[in-house]
C-alpha cells in the first residue's frame, strides 16, 4: 500500500502531513501527486469527499518550496467557485505549509479590497480566489498574472453550473502558456472536456470512481410526499421534514438541509427555529461575516442543523456530518451527488434522505439515471399525506357538481311553464314583425319597445326566462 512517504514530497510538507494524522493517501491523491511533481498537467476526477484538495495542495507546496514571489505577481493561482470552498482551500494550505516560508492570499467577496491589496502588494506565493473577485483586482491594476507557474481549477463542473466558464477562459488567457495546470472535479461534463482540450497539455487523467457516483458508505432514501391541498403543500412539507428529523432520533447528531431556492432556505430555517430546532441558514445573499460564523458554529458542533442552498454543496469539509436532508430534489442531477457527499466522508457512515413531491418526480428520475441505481423508497413518517390528497381531489368535483345542479334546479322555479304562455299571449306579436328583426341590428333598433316582448336571435335554444317580459321577471 502506498504511503505519503513514498510520493517524493518535500520533507517539510511530509512532516506537516504526518502531524495532521495522515499516513496513507487516498486513490485520487496517490494518482495525482506523482505526475504533478513531475511537472505534468493533471485532470483529476473523483467523487466528493475523496481528498481532491490535498491532491493538488501537497504537490504545489513541494514545487513552490524554492523561490520567492514578487509584488502583485503571484507564483500560483487556485480558482474556486464559492467563498466557502476558497476559505477551506486556504486552511489546507495553512495546515500543510506550516514549515515552509510561503505566503498566500485569499481573494473573495465580502472582504475589503484594501486589505486584500495590501497582502498582494507584498507578494504572495499562493493566490486563492473566486473568479469574480480575481478579475476585479486585475481590472483595478492591482494584480499581474504573467508570473503564474501553477494554476488550479477546483470543482470545475461547479464552475460550469455557476456560469464562470467565460471568466475562467479569460483568466487562462492572462496566465503564461508554459504554466502547469490542474483540473479537479467530481463529474466530467462535455464542456469541461472542451476546456481541458483547449488549455491542458497532454494531461495525466486520474479517474478513481465512476462518474457521478455517491460513496458506498452513504445510505440513501426517498420519501414520497403528496400534499392534501396545493395551498398547504409548503407547510405540510416542512412538517414532514421535522418528522423525519425526529424519526432519526439520536442518530442525527447534525445535518445539512438543502433547498433549491434561497428564499426557501430562510423560510425552512425560520420554521425549524420556531419549533425549537437548532438551525441556521446559509446562502449567497448573506453577509460573508454571517456565513463564516454560521459555518464555524456548525463545524464546532454548537449548531446542529445547517439549512443551505447549493453554495454549501461543493467542497465543504465537515467530516462528521451524520445526515443530509434534501428538502427539494435538485434541478441538476449532479448536485444530488455533491449534496449527499457532505455526509459519509473519510470512511464514516452517513445517511441522505430526499423529500420528493409529485412535481419533482422527473428530477428524481434524472438523479437515478445519473447514479445508475434506484434510490430506495422510505415510508412517510406522517403516513396520512397521500390519503388527504386523494380526499381533496374527490371533494372538488363533488362541490362543483352540487353547485351546477343547484343552479339547474333553481331555474324552473323562477320561470315555470305556467308563465310561458302568459308571456306569449299577454301581448300578441304584431304583423309588422318581419324577419329583419332577427338580425342583431334590427333587434337593437326595436330595443325598449313595450310591445316587443319576444327576444329573437337565439333560435330554438332560447332559455325560458329570457322570453319573459321585464315586468314578469321583476314579479317572479
Measured in residues, the chain has a length of: 476
Alpha carbon distance 427, 452 (integer Å): 8
Q: CA separation (Å) from 262 to 113, 158, 267? A: 26, 18, 9
Phi-psi region of 256 (alpha: psi -120 to 50; beta: other; left: phi over 0): beta
Q: Give 398-452 as a 3 state SS string.
A: HHHHHHHHHHHHHHHHHCCCCHHHHHHHCCCCCCCCCHHHHCHHHHHHCCCCCCC
Residues of the chain with pLDDT > 70, as a percent, come to: 77
CA-based nearest residue to 336, from 361, 363, 358, 362: 363
Average pLDDT, the chain: 81
End-to-end CA distance of the chain: 99
**3-class SS of residue 358:** helix
Torsions phi, psi of 185, nearest 5? -155, 160
Q: Is the torsion defined by CA of 9, 15, 19, 24 positive or negative?
A: positive
> Strands 150-154 and 180-185: what pairing?
parallel
Q: pLDDT tens digits, residue range 359-408? A: 899 999 999 998 888 999 998 988 754 433 333 333 344 444 444 444 44
Q: What is the band of 77 on the pLDDT scale with cuts at 50, 70, 90?
A: very high
- Asked if 168 and 131 count as a contact pair (C-beta separation under 8 A), the reply is yes
Q: What is the pTM of this model?
A: 0.65
**Which triple of cell numbers denotes residue 191?**
464542456
The SS3 call for residue 387 is helix
Give whichever of 1-15, 42-56, 205-219 has the largest mean pLDDT.
Answer: 1-15
The CATH number of the domain covering residues in 4-207: 3.40.50.300
Residue 218, all three cell numbers: 452513504
What band does 473 get if pLDDT is binned at 50, 70 and 90?
low
Q: Are 282 and 308 within 8 A, CB to CB?
A: yes
CA 214, CA 268: separation in Å to the nearest integer? Answer: 26
Least reliable range by pLDDT among 121-125, 169-173, 308-312: 308-312
Q: What is the mean pLDDT of residues 199-204?
A: 93
pLDDT score recorded for residue 49: 67
CA–CA gap between residue 59 and residue 13 (Å, rounded):
9
The highest-confidence range among 105-119, 132-146, 424-438, by mean pLDDT, is 132-146
Same fold, 4-207 and 218-389: yes
Q: Report how far residue 193's alpha carbon sits from residue 208's, in angstroms, rounded to the nearest whole number.
A: 17
Q: How far is CA 82 from CA 164, 182, 439, 469, in A?
A: 11, 18, 72, 76
Q: Where are the domains of the chain?
A: 4-207, 218-389, 411-475
CATH number of 218-389: 3.40.50.300
Confidence of residue 352 (pLDDT cuts 50, 70, 90): very high
Confidence of residue 290 (pLDDT cuts 50, 70, 90): confident
What is the per-residue pLDDT across 170-193, written as a single tens digit (0 to 9) for each? 999 999 999 999 998 877 778 888
Identify the pLDDT of residue 398.
41
- pLDDT band per the 50, 70, 90 thresholds, residue 313: low
Amino acid at each position: 500500500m502506498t504511503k505519503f512517504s513514498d510520493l517524493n514530497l518535500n520533507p517539510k510538507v511530509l512532516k506537516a502531513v504526518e502531524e495532521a494524522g495522515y499516513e496513507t493517501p487516498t486513490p485520487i491523491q496517490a494518482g495525482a501527486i506523482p505526475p504533478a511533481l513531475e511537472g505534468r498537467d493533471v485532470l483529476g476526477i473523483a467523487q466528493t469527499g475523496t481528498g481532491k484538495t490535498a491532491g493538488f495542495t501537497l504537490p504545489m507546496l513541494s514545487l513552490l518550496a524554492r523561490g520567492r514571489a514578487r509584488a502583485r505577481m503571484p507564483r500560483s493561482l487556485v480558482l474556486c467557485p464559492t467563498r466557502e470552498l476558497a476559505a477551506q482551500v486556504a486552511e489546507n494550505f495553512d495546515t500543510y505549509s506550516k514549515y515552509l516560508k510561503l505566503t498566500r492570499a485569499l481573494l473573495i467577496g465580502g472582504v475589503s479590497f484594501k486589505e486584500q491589496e495590501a497582502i498582494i502588494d507584498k507578494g504572495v506565493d499562493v493566490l486563492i480566489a473566486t473568479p469574480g473577485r480575481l478579475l476585479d483586482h486585475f481590472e483595478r491594476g492591482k494584480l499581474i498574472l504573467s508570473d503564474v507557474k501553477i494554476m488550479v481549477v477546483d470543482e470545475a463542473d461547479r464552475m460550469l453550473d455557476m456560469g464562470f466558464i467565460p471568466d475562467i477562459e479569460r483568466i487562462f488567457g492572462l496566465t503564461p502558456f508554459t504554466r502547469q495546470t490542474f483540473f479537479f472535479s467530481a463529474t466530467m461534463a462535455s464542456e469541461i472536456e472542451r476546456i481541458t482540450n483547449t488549455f491542458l497539455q497532454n494531461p495525466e487523467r486520474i479517474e478513481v470512481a465512476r462518474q457521478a457516483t455517491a460513496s458506498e458508505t452513504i445510505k440513501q432514501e426517498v420519501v414520497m410526499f403528496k400534499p392534501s391541498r396545493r395551498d398547504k403543500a409548503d407547510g405540510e412539507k416542512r412538517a414532514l421534514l421535522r418528522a423525519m428529523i425526529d424519526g432519526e432520533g439520536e442518530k442525527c447528531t447534525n445535518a445539512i438541509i438543502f433547498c433549491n431556492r434561497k428564499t426557501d432556505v430562510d423560510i425552512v430555517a425560520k420554521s425549524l427555529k420556531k419549533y425549537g430546532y437548532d438551525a441556521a441558514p446559509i446562502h449567497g445573499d448573506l453577509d460573508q461575516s454571517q456565513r463564516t460564523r454560521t459555518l464555524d458554529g456548525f463545524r464546532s458542533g454548537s449548531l446542529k442543523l445547517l439549512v443551505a442552498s447549493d453554495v454549501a454543496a461543493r467542497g465543504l469539509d465537515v467530516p462528521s456530518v451524520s445526515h443530509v436532508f434534501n428538502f427539494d430534489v435538485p434541478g441538476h442531477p449532479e448536485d444530488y451527488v455533491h449534496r449527499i457527499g457532505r455526509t459519509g466522508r473519510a470512511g464514516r457512515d452517513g445517511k441522505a434522505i430526499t423529500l420528493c413531491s409529485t412535481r419533482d418526480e422527473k428530477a428524481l428520475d434524472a438523479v437515478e439515471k445519473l447514479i445508475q441505481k434506484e434510490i430506495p423508497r422510505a415510508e412517510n413518517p406522517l403516513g396520512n399525506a397521500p390519503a388527504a390528497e386523494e380526499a381533496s381531489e374527490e371533494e372538488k368535483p363533488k362541490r362543483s357538481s352540487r353547485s351546477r345542479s343547484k343552479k339547474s334546479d333553481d331555474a324552473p322555479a323562477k320561470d315555470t311553464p305556467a308563465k310561458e304562455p302568459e308571456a306569449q299571449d299577454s301581448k300578441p306579436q304584431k304583423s309588422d314583425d318581419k324577419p329583419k328583426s332577427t338580425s342583431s341590428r334590427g333587434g337593437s333598433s326595436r330595443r325598449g319597445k313595450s310591445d316587443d316582448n319576444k327576444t329573437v336571435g337565439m333560435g330554438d335554444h332560447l332559455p325560458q326566462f329570457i322570453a319573459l317580459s321585464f315586468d314578469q321577471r321583476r314579479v317572479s
